[in-house]
Structure 1
Amino acid sequence: MQAGTQPVFALIAGELSGDILGAGLIRALREHYPDARFIGVCGPQMQAEGGESLFPMERLSVMGITEVLPRLPELFRLRRQLVDTLIAEQPLAVIGIDSPDFTLSVAKRVHARGLRTVHYVSPSVWAWRQGRIKGIRASIDLMLTLLPFEARFYQEHDVPVAFVGHPLADMIPMTPDVAGARDLLGLPHDARVLAVLPGSRGGEVRQLLPDFLAAVRLLRADQPALHVVIPAATPDRHAEITAGLAAAGLTDIQLVDGQSRTVMAAADVVLMASGTATLEGLLLKKPMVIGYRLGGLTYAIASRLVKLDHVGLPNLLASQPRIPEFIQDAMNPEALAGAVQHWFDHPDDVAALKDDFEAVHVQLRRDASTHAAAAVKALVEGTL
């Protein structure tokens, strides 16, 4: 960068979680580059920090093959527009934030034209389709990972990497406020509480909710006073869960809109779908039982591609796998209920789990934005 030239960084986010990360990164980079401009694809939080968006972030927010296919011409046009602008602007670094299908394709093109590239939030290349690492190594100058085992994977494959910690670990207190969460939900402080999280997508709820509710019926047969709370991620999920509760004859279960973190904080045990919410459960130090089921063909394909012994992040992060996982045919009401009951009946196991999860929380709590900005600065200034 020439003296007197205003530094420019490009950040590309494709969804809400990326917008949150991008806003924190802009704030942290301003500590090093107070006069910098930030351009690219920005959501509302990034724009509130001064990010200049070439087009609305929502235009990249598509999921699933049937949704993406009709949008491909537009997505290609947006990518071409973005790449042309970045080549003209010559930012100090182009930082893709998650959304790897789009952001890594942009990185490949601008890296070939000599721009420095960073990717923030590793795709799950360590879990499946590991052959993608060759393309990442060829087009990314720095990978920023949220989890430590991801960083080890990139080190083994000679990709420059920095483990920056997880923003959720910065946000969630080390000691959860169980009493405060129960007050917010109107739950007795001395009650035994089970949180049930059947997923945020319609397909997940349809696959998981019947078995989850059947497990609740088994648990309540022995524990009639068991309080059960289910957070509904969206109005559509609320309607689907309400119908499921009626079909199961469990209309006295507490159903709340959103507030999944509060519901987990209030619970003694969590029965939940596999997914990112399991990391929140870990950070809240909650004993969990994970269940998941995919369509038969999807599972047949995925089971041949995935290279992991466990699917839940708590089992990948903790010193040893402690969370029961029931996947596909192994998931049934009896197995789920038995695993939940084990946590209620074995406080020593719960105490050991909480100690393990606290150690993970400390490891992940690194002020992710500050570490990410420092790594980007080191790349830009040649000290990485």
Structure 2
Amino acid sequence: MQGVMRAMRLKTVGVDPSLTEIPVPEPGEGEVRIAMRACGICGSDLHVVDGSTVVDRLPVTMGHEPSGVVDALGAGVDSLSCGQRVVVNGLVPCGTCGQCTRGRRNRCEQLCILGLGRDGAHADYFTVPAESVIPLPDGIGFELGAIITDAIATPMHAIRKSGVQKGQTAAVFGLGGLGIHAAMILRQLYEVEVVGIDVDDAALANARRAGVADVVDAREAQVARRIRDETGGGVDVAFEFVGSAAVVEQGLRSLRPGGTCVVAGVHPNRLQLGLRQETLVARELTLTGSLGYTNEDISDLLHLVNTGELVFDDTVSHVFDLADYQTGLDTLRQPDSASIRVVITADA
């Protein structure tokens, strides 16, 4: 295929990406070209723009949580077909390192992320390895399919890693796109009692609308103590989706003895916990990280959504055409926009 296409290109850190015409990419061996139909814009994209997340090269096309239609097959690809509806795992592993060969591809030692290490999906077309592509059931729209690949798969992976059991209690710190979906999965799939914590009025209201009965305004004092008091001694699991060392400590302090704090939020700051080591030991607390998601997480979610076992009504809160990308970015930045997930679309 020859010709040019539209792509949101980040050219300079600190300056918003701009809509640029570039050549349509050709899939290499083992790759496919996808015609983008929907792709989320999330807080991670804002971190890339402002430079707190470092990209491997510039300029680069943004976008890492896409859905679309297979448009062309590279040499050696026989697992997919042109015209097939798909979603894409934006975490692209090398496939050969020790972590990859042990099946831990999200921990790849040379992990490449769409929109950071290679051109992403905020464009009419993009290419990815065929192994990163997952069929999208006909019963799921492109917009929801796109956010399943990251905004829903990330909390799913964290929840699975936590070992939370049916009937337990959980605290979800940060009620943006990741936290809201974590609360919904915990309630619907695990029947877990959820306490939601945030500092933003719109996020707290979104959580209430999503069925989280117990929400805590973190602007108030003694948040962890309040959680322990309300849950009769603390929660079994705490999830940190903010990316803040202070919130990690609040998560640990909100746990009952034997509890686990799972950190999925990312920030370059060092953890400097004020928690005494003897408290960690005496209460047998666990602190662990959770990185991204796997193809299995995405595939399982697609099945659960397609069968109605999980429902995510209205979490795609804003949809804009690729040409209106700047409006999408501005919406994401507005604290009073009540955005849960912003998605851009294209119909190449």
Q: TM-score, normalised by structure 1?
A: 0.26
More helix by percentage = 1
* Larger-gyration structure (1/2): 1
More strand by percentage = 2
